[in-house]
Amino acid sequence: MNGNTWMDEALCWINGERRTLFESMEVIDPSNGERIGNVPLGGAELAEEAVTAAWEAFPAWSSLLPRERACYLTRWAEKILQHKEELAPLLTREQGKPLAESTGELEVAASFVQWYAEEAKRVSGEVLPPYKPNQRITVIRQPVGVAALITPWNYPAAMVTRKAAPALAAGCTVVLKPAKQTPLIAIALFRLLMETGLPAGAANLVTGAASAIGEAWLGDPRVRKVSFTGSTEVGKKLMRQAADQVKRVSLELGGNAPAIVFGDADLERAAAAIADNKFENCGQMCNGINRIYAEETVAEELAERMVAKVKQMRVGPGIRPGIHIGPLIHDSARRNVHRLVSDAVEKGARLRTGGHPLTEGEWAGGSYYAPTVLTGVDESMDLTREEVFGPVAPILSFRTEEEVVDQANQTPYGLAAYLFTRDVARTHRVSEKLEFGMVGVNGTSLSVPQAPFGGIKESGVGREGGRYGLEEFLELKTITAMVD
Ligand code: ADP
């Protein structure tokens, strides 16, 4: 099967069948601005149809034995891995990331499905001690019901499976809307899910107008759960809409991750880990480092090591071998990145490398931005408060542990933080004081199937990953019985 076949069949999936509409929307390749495909432009009507299918499928799907649901997920994971070489170019073309990152993302996507295939079998309840004679108190876990899943464009494959796999494992049926920039990989993943023989209606996918689809789902009493990954702004809106029917929500929103490098850290290791995190996916990662705090004594050396690494990174179309950094998702994202860099430079930051759009030659037509390192950054600059979401590494310096922890926490966000030190006591002291949902120490890998991923404060509610991610799709029920 070649890449085009996946695009020719880029339709919605409702009740186990492909569904198209007269109206469609374009999918654009951010590496050159060209149209690569079209998908149906769905709205409230299609959204409602999807919910009806999921609602009708729920009694049968939720009554299957957990091990039966697990079989579908196991097959799905196998199929994703089997097809990853064909799917990676599709992901790269609509999203922009280098091919190796796309393949890696598909492997991660499959790992979530595999994990939840196993975890599906381990949902259990409890028997509690009685309060009165002859009383039996049991607590059981049941699927929430129809779950609406709304996914972003930055990890368009992994976010689909990180939500759909635990939902299906729990016994929920789902309706999913991918981001308009990246619907093709979601549609392809759904096709593989359908090929497992999944009962019709257990998983449905709608593409189209985000706010119309969102409103239809949030206003539909049959939808009992919303799981969203995206911007804090849209997340807040969905939370308000969900309040009307007290729907359960899981929100994975923006971040403003600090990375703190103490003077005793292994600087080479810190520079490599920070550069890997910072420039992955062209800096478009919610747990991506946004502010680098280096202890005054090592700030210059860290900057030099970072600059050396960044200068070796090749920017270009992700589809080409040897490329480290692809384009940003859209020109508006590039303008925003440049606005933040210009603001920092105007306020006195020193540009060590990069700092400008790339528009000539092989970059023409794409949203490329030169990977950037800034030093002499301080908190008057907008890029320390806003999520940059681009290939920009701003380095600030600090004197004391107390001061840097305080600065790191000065943000309404609380998704991820990173620290680099060889001091074990400090590792624990600082990790515990940082007001973030996740802390990486001497490394930056956070999203793995077994661990809870998610933020506090305005970075969201709920967790994805591990048994915690499954809990988000389960309700507790207490059954208190008198047996005399
Ligand atoms: P980003 O800033 O990363 O594009 P968004 O929050 O705009 O993030 O998008 C994340 C997901 O939320 C996408 O699938 C997008 O289509 C969807 N979305 C955007 N606006 C709404 C809305 N009003 N209601 C429901 N979903 C929305």
Domain ranges of the chain: 3-253+459-480, 257-448
Q: Is any atom of ligand 1 closer than 6 Å to the C-beta of 179?
A: yes
Q: Distance, CA 445 to ligand 1 centroid (Å)?
A: 25
> Which tokens in the block code for residue 322?
């040897």
| pLDDT exceeds 80 at position 195 | yes
Q: Is any atom of ligand 1 closer than 6 Å to the C-beta of 230?
A: yes
pLDDT digits (tens, 9 = 90+) for 237-283: 999 999 999 999 999 999 999 999 999 999 999 999 999 999 999 99
DSSP 98: -
Catalytic residue among 49, 252, 280, 387: 252
Q: Is any atom of ligand 1 closer than 6 Å to the C-beta of 180?
A: yes
Q: How far apart are CA 428 and CA 358, in angstroms?
A: 42
Strands 257-261 and 416-420: parallel
Q: Distance, CA 210 to ligand 1 centroid (Å)?
A: 6
> Which tokens in the block code for residue 337?
């990145």
Q: Is any atom of ligand 1 closer than 6 Å to the C-beta of 211?
A: yes
Spatial contact of 171 and 69, defined as CB atoms under 8 Å apart: yes
| pLDDT attached to residue 147 | 99
pLDDT digits (tens, 9 = 90+) for 292-333: 999 999 999 999 999 999 999 999 999 999 999 999 999 999
Q: Distance, CA 44 to ligand 1 centroid (Å)?
A: 16
**Ligand 1 atom at minimal distance to the Cα of residue 237:** 23
Q: Distance, CA 178 to ligand 1 centroid (Å)?
A: 9
Q: Using a CB cutoff of 8 Å and minimum separation of 24, what contacts does 62-71 make?
A: 62/142, 62/143, 62/171, 62/172, 62/173, 64/171, 66/120, 66/121, 66/123, 66/169, 66/171, 67/120, 67/121, 69/120, 69/168, 69/169, 69/171, 70/117, 70/118, 70/120, 70/121, 70/169, 71/117
Mutate which of 150, 182, 233 for ligand 1 pocket (most atoms within 8 A of beta carbon): 150
Spatial contact of 311 and 378, defined as CB atoms under 8 Å apart: no
CATH number of 257-448: 3.40.309.10
Residue with the nearest Cα to atom 3 of ligand 1? 230
Instruction: Please tell me the pTM assigned to this model.
Output: 0.97
> Which tokens in the block code for residue 177?
């809307």
Mean pLDDT of 375-383: 97
* Domains 3-253+459-480 and 257-448 equal at CATH topology level: no
Residue with the nearest Cα to atom 22 of ligand 1? 211
Q: How far apart are CA 317 and CA 98, in angstroms?
A: 7
Q: Is any atom of ligand 1 closer than 6 Å to the C-beta of 95?
A: no
The helix/strand/coil state of 32 is: coil
For domain 3-253+459-480, which CATH number applies: 3.60.150.10, 3.30.360.10, 3.40.50.150, 3.40.605.10? 3.40.605.10
Spatial contact of 96 and 334, defined as CB atoms under 8 Å apart: no
| pLDDT attached to residue 6 | 76
- Residue 470: enclosing H or E segment and its boundaries? helix 466-471
**DSSP secondary structure string for all residues of 250-277:** EEE----EEEEE-TTS-HHHHHHHHHHH
Q: How far apart are CA 204 and CA 216, in angstroms?
A: 15
| pLDDT attached to residue 2 | 47
Q: Distance, CA 176 to ligand 1 centroid (Å)?
A: 12
pLDDT digits (tens, 9 = 90+) for 15-55: 999 999 999 999 999 999 999 999 999 999 999 999 999 99
| pLDDT attached to residue 8 | 67
Amino acid at 447: S
pLDDT digits (tens, 9 = 90+) for 45-88: 999 999 999 999 999 999 999 999 999 999 999 999 999 999 99
Spatial contact of 273 and 260, defined as CB atoms under 8 Å apart: no
pLDDT digits (tens, 9 = 90+) for 106-153: 999 999 999 999 999 999 999 999 999 999 999 999 999 999 999 999
Query: What is this model's ipTM?
Result: 0.95
Q: Distance, CA 223 to ligand 1 centroid (Å)?
A: 18
| pLDDT attached to residue 4 | 60
Does 280 participate in catalysis according to the annotation? no
Q: Is any atom of ligand 1 closer than 6 Å to the C-beta of 330?
A: no
Size (the chain), residues: 484
Residue with the nearest Cα to atom 15 of ligand 1? 179
Q: Report the C-alpha dihedral over residues 46, 49, 51, 53, rounded to 10 degrees.
A: -140
Q: Is any atom of ligand 1 closer than 6 Å to the C-beta of 231?
A: yes
Residue with the nearest Cα to atom 19 of ligand 1? 210
